[in-house]
């Protein structure tokens, strides 16, 4: 099972990223969990200075923008 983490304070862009991540997971039909990381100290542990950010299995993939569902599908397929 993959772990998809949305890092951010809970803003509208963060919510949109979580929505896109879940849509990508559903479209691919894979087992994955979407986790929202809102604690600033946890976000800093990823060395992320701009949010929202997307991590897949603890590896940062996107920082500072909301990727499309298609972009997330490609990242999940890697």
Q: Which of 2, 9, 11, 45 is catalytic?
A: 11
Q: Is 14 annotated in the active site?
A: yes
Angle in degrees, CA 42, 46, 51, rounded to 5? 85
Catalytic residue, candidates 6, 14, 54, 72: 14
- Sequence-ordered list of residues with C-beta below 8 angstroms from that of 60, at least 6 positions apart, any chain: 46, 47, 48, 53, 54
Instruction: Please confirm, yes or no, whether 51 is among the known catalytic residues.
Output: no
List the catalytic residues.
11, 14
């Amino acid at each position: 099972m993959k772990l998809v983490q949305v890092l951010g304070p809970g803003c509208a862009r963060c919510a949109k990223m979580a929505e896109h991540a879940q849509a990508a997971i559903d479209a691919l039909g894979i087992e994955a969990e979407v986790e929202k990381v809102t604690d600033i100290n946890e976000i800093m542990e990823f060395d992320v200075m701009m949010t929202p950010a997307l991590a897949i299995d603890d590896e940062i993939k996107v920082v500072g923008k909301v990727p499309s569902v298609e972009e997330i599908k490609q990242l999940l397929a890697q």
